[in-house]
Amino acid sequence: MTQPAAAPVPPRRLDPEDAQHALAEVQERLRRQQLVEDLVHRQEQGDDKASLVEDLVHRQHEAELKALVDALHPADIAFILESLPKDERQTVWKLVSPEHDADVLLEVEDWVRESLIEAMDRQDLVAATGNMDADELADLAPDLPPDVVAEVQKGLTEEERAQLLEAMGYPEDSVGAIMDFEMVRVREDVTLEVVLRYLRRLHELPDHTDQVFVVDRQDKLQGVLPLSRLLVSEPETEVHAVMSTDFLTLNPLDSDADAAGAFERYDLVSAPVMDDQGRLIGRVTIADVVDVMREDSQEQALSRAGLQEEDIFAPVAMALRNRAPWLLFNLCTAATASFVASRFEDTVSHIVILAFLMSIVAGIGGNSGNQTMTMIIRALAVGRITGRNLWQLVKREMMVTFMVGLCGSVVAALFAWAISNSIAIAVVMMASMICNMLVGASFGVLVPMLRARFGKDPAMGSSVLLTFATDSLGFFIFLGLATVFLL
């Protein structure tokens, strides 16, 4: 009797520590492979035996590496690819099973995806993207060669082709760009038993399905039927009797950041997307929202330093174009602060201790402003700042900064008195520290608010601008007060 073939073992998803361990294993195998190749190359040229040994060892290492990679989840393969230099990344990418190509391309960051797609020929790209859903294909379309997109479109149904064109037509940071077209729809005049039979006929439910959408014959959304309610209600009950008519809807032109805020606020798993005529055209799931939150968080962290996302192993020239502009601007601001300090050369030469204390004034002002700026940027991101509460927020931040500055400046004044044995220097230290902290708080509010007002990223380069203000004005205030009251 023939034994049935064993079902293939699905790739396992690792936790972060296991993923890092897998990365270390891949790096070690790549290192060994390179070491063996270097040793063999040292043999005499034309040595057939050396070439044979090299080929055998190479095949063995390649098989071991492929077995290791094939056992991983696509998300973990993506993590490994993002953590390798370009040459090693391409080596590992060639060993990934074709069945995982599509999932890995969807998981990796944009800056890695471009290099992976460049390494694939047209046939492999068509094979990898041919079975993608319309929304997934729309995510990859900007990075794919136009002829590949055209070829894949030929294999889509009319409905899928229309969905693809629709998804590609929405702005990048909109709900329409992240919405999913896979969802379960039912009519309101059928019983729950009919709905259950319909669900059982499906091969599987779309990911993150927590509710069934109730529509009429024109696909206009009438309500939602949570699966939890479907399972506990009597089968003879009709849908309209148990469906919920109180639900959140999204428009495809809504900001994806606003949608993420709504998911966070209302603890949603999925939400329907309706067009202007009230027709159900898609849904957004928690998986899409988590990606949006992660990307926004990464962009905000980079923007504060004036950076854009880049390959950590990108060529030096590319990294230079990314980092140099804001560094040069920072150099100009630092030079301005130094120029301000140089205008008080006589003051510093008469009271040398001021040179050691003024960095404290500038540093504390910068840190205070950074706290305020972080809060303002966060509040802007979640939409908590409006024209009505702006002035109230500014007054609160100034009051908090003044009170914190008052307490901190007492400590600073005691320190200044201890090392200078001068009450006058301690008082100047105290006054200038409070003033510069208020300057930092003011710029911490103004910089992100003004950038947001003109449609710019509030976080972009904000720390550089804040440092410029607190250093230049901090030196001016401290040395100016010292010139007036100490000389």
Helix, strand, or coil here: 412? helix
- Whether the pLDDT of residue 179 is over 90: the answer is yes
Regarding the domain delimited by 16-175, which CATH topology (the fold level of the hierarchy) does it fall under?
A: MgtE N-terminal fold (1.25.60)
pLDDT at residue 308, as a whole number: 65
Across the beta sheet with 221-226, the strand order is 185-186, 211-215, 221-226
Q: pLDDT for 242-290, tens place per residue?
A: 999 999 999 999 999 889 989 988 999 999 999 999 999 999 999 999 9
**Superfamily classification of domain 316-486:** SLC41 divalent cation transporters, integral membrane domain (1.10.357.20)
Name the band, by pLDDT with cuts 50, 70 and 90, for residue 42.
low
Segment 318-327 shows an average pLDDT of: 72
Name the DSSP class of 317.
Answer: H
Q: How far is CA 284 from the centre of its chain?
A: 18
Q: Is the pLDDT of residue 330 over 50?
A: yes
Average pLDDT for 377-391: 78
C-alpha distances (whole Å) from 17 to each of 24, 112, 134 are 11, 22, 34
Average pLDDT, the chain: 85
pTM for the model stands at 0.70
Does residue 362 surpass a pLDDT of 80? yes
Distance CA 317, CA 326 (A): 15
| pLDDT higher than 60, residue 414 | yes
- Do residues 186 and 245 touch, judged by C-beta distance below 8 A? no
Q: What is the pLDDT of residues 56-85, one digit of tens each?
A: 766 777 888 888 888 888 889 998 998 888
CB 73 within 8 A of CB 66: no
Instruction: Find the range with the poorest average confidence among 7-16, 95-104, 451-460.
Output: 7-16
Structure tokens at 397: 């931040």
Nearest to 373 by CA among 298, 464, 309: 464
Between 56-65, 126-135, 466-475, the lowest mean confidence (pLDDT) is in 56-65
Query: For the chain, what are the domain ranges?
Result: 16-175, 185-304, 316-486
Which residue type occupies 201?
R
pLDDT of 142:
85
Contact 372, 397 (CB under 8 A): yes
Instruction: State yes or no: pLDDT of 29 exceeds 50.
Output: yes
Torsion of CA 226, 232, 238, 241, to 10 degrees: -70
Decide: helix, strand or coil at residue 165.
Answer: helix
Decide if 283 contacts 319 (C-beta within 8 A): no
Please choose, from the candidates 72, 69, 71, the residue with its C-alpha nearest in 3D space to the C-alpha of residue 93. 69
What whole-number distance in Å separates Cα of residue 257 and Cα of residue 292?
7
Q: Where residue 220 falls among pLDDT bands split at 50, 70, 90?
A: very high
Query: Which of 91-105, 263-277, 314-328 shows the lowest mean pLDDT across its residues?
Result: 314-328
- Taking the C-alpha atoms of residue 128 and residue 101, their distance in angstroms, rounded to an integer, is 6
Residues 6+ apart with CB under 8 A from 382: 261, 264
Give the torsion sign (CA, 122, 125, 131, 136).
negative
Question: Would you give the DSSP letter of residue 141?
Answer: G
Dihedral pair phi/psi, residue 175, rounded to 5°:
-60, -40
Q: How confident is the model at residue 1 (pLDDT cuts 50, 70, 90)?
A: very low
Nearest partner of 21 among 108, 79, 67, 85, judged by Cα: 79
CB atoms within 10 A of CB 284: 27
- Angle (CA) 343-349-355 rounded to 5° is 80
pLDDT of residue 251: 95
Tokens of 457: 């990223």
Cβ contact 314:213 at 8 Å: no
Domain 185-304 is found in CATH 3.10.580.10: yes
In order, the DSSP letters of 46-100 are: T-HHHHHHHHHHHHHHHHHHHHHHHTB-HHHHHHHHHTS-HHHHHHHHHHS-HHH
Backbone angles phi, psi at 92, to 5 degrees: -70, -40
